[in-house]
Amino acid sequence: MTELKNRRYLDALLKKPVDRTPIWMMRQAGRYLPEYRATRSQAGDFMSLCKNTELACEVTLQPLRRYPLDAAILFSDILTIPDAMGLGLYFETGEGPKFERPINCHADVEAIKVPDSAKDLKYVMDAVSTIRRELKGQVPLIGFSGSPWTLATYMVEGGSSKTFAKIKRMAFEAPQTLHLLLSKLAESVTDYLNAQIDAGAQAVQIFDTWGGVLTPRDYREFSLDYMEKIVSGLNTNKNGEKVPVILFTKGGGLWLENIAATGCDGVGLDWTIDIGEARRRIGDKVALQGNMDPAILYAPPERIRQEVSTILDSYGQGTGHVFNLGHGITPEVDPEHAGVFINAVTELSPKYHQS
């Protein structure tokens, strides 16, 4: 394999010195980019884009052609696992993801098979190895999965939800059914991420987008315990190189100590916590990733630069910070504003790394 030319992202996660703060953006390949929209319409629909190796590789590389980003993220989706479990994923225009056969009862959960990722999700592994080859060592490639809890919300609700009525009812009425589902998902996610590491992913991130809707006790029982199990089951040593693991729980700011204690290398932060406070609480254990409010990208360039400067200042001197948004970039953002944000990080951060 080609040698990596830019290691900033990996080094910051492993708390090695860097010359400036590395940056990537959640959903950096996405609808805010006209070139993404063009490739997606060429593919036909979203899942066809994920399943087309060449086009999935193309959209992964598009943001790197525009901006000096320090990492690429596999173009795929978290819902590939439930799709491989046979739930029948589809996307209705403007309506988000839906399942033809959602999970309703214990028998549905018992019928589910844990996918063999190398075989049943081969299209994802093909995308990983193709992207790795096409990156030519420019920057590292991040693989990812949803957390068991977050995947379960979509599988039980049948799609996106605002109230989480069905899955919370299941948690209270039939906790053993939900635990069986979460166990199968934890096993699936472990295998899926290990297969991505085998195929060439150089770091992996677990998205727990909906962990924050739980009470502290339920978060521990239904989300964090399963993520911890996954972290301990990952093969994070690849040819002598450490593959860092990042956990991102949206709305998880109150539980940082518990998240950091799972054995992960990095904790992703949303924008509702001050990064300096997060560093004081867990910065001796893990690296931090985040955490600009994505809505700041609607603001004028000067305001964007000011926010970047505030966050860099709050984190303070030294390594262990990967700059990111606190959640995904939205389709309404002007690509030029994304550029202002990324350039602000590259221009303003070197002074925090002079020893």
Interface ranges with ligand 1CP (CB under 6 A): 26-31, 40, 46, 73, 75, 77-79, 96-97, 144, 146, 160, 207, 209, 328
Token pair, residue 228, equals: 């911890």
- Helical pair 225-233 and 175-199, crossing angle rounded to 10 deg: 30
Nearer to ligand 1CP, 234 or 348 (CB): 234
| Residues whose CB is less than 8 angstroms from the CB of residue 191 and which lie 6 or more positions away in sequence, other chains included | 114, 115, 116, 117
- Cis bond upstream, residue 291 (ω within 30): yes
Least distance in angstroms from the C-beta of 40 to ligand 1CP: 5
77 catalytic, yes or no? yes
Catalytic residue chosen out of the listed positions 8, 32, 36, 77? 77
From the candidates 67, 154, 219, 315, give the one annotated as an active-site residue.
154
Q: For residues 223 and 319, which CB has a smaller minimum distance to ligand 1CP in the complex?
A: 223
Shorter beta-carbon distance to ligand 1CP: residue 184 or 327 = 327
Based on the residue annotation, tell me whether 67 is a catalytic residue of this protein: no
Distance separating alpha carbons of residues 156 and 174, to the nearest angstrom: 13
Is 7 assigned a catalytic role?
Answer: no
d(CA 281, CA 275): 10
Backbone angles phi and psi of 37, in degrees to 5: -60, -35
Report the residue number whose CB is nearest to ligand 1CP: 160
Side chain identity, residue 138: Q
Options 7, 8, 40, 132, the catalytic residue = 40
> Is-catalytic flag, 31?
yes
User: Do residues 255 and 208 make contact, with C-beta atoms less than 8 angstroms apart?
Assistant: no
Structure tokens at 67: 């901006």
Closest CB to ligand 1CP among residues 127, 181: 127
Q: How far is the CB of 306 from ligand 1CP (least distance, A)?
A: 25
* Helices (H), ranges, 136-204: 148-157, 165-173, 175-199
Structure tokens at 42: 């060429």
* CB closer to ligand 1CP out of 325 and 345: 325
Among residues 27, 37, 66, 220, which one is catalytic?
A: 27
Q: How far is the CB of 288 from ligand 1CP (least distance, A)?
A: 18
Q: Where in the sequence numbering do the catalytic residues fall?
A: 27, 31, 40, 77, 154
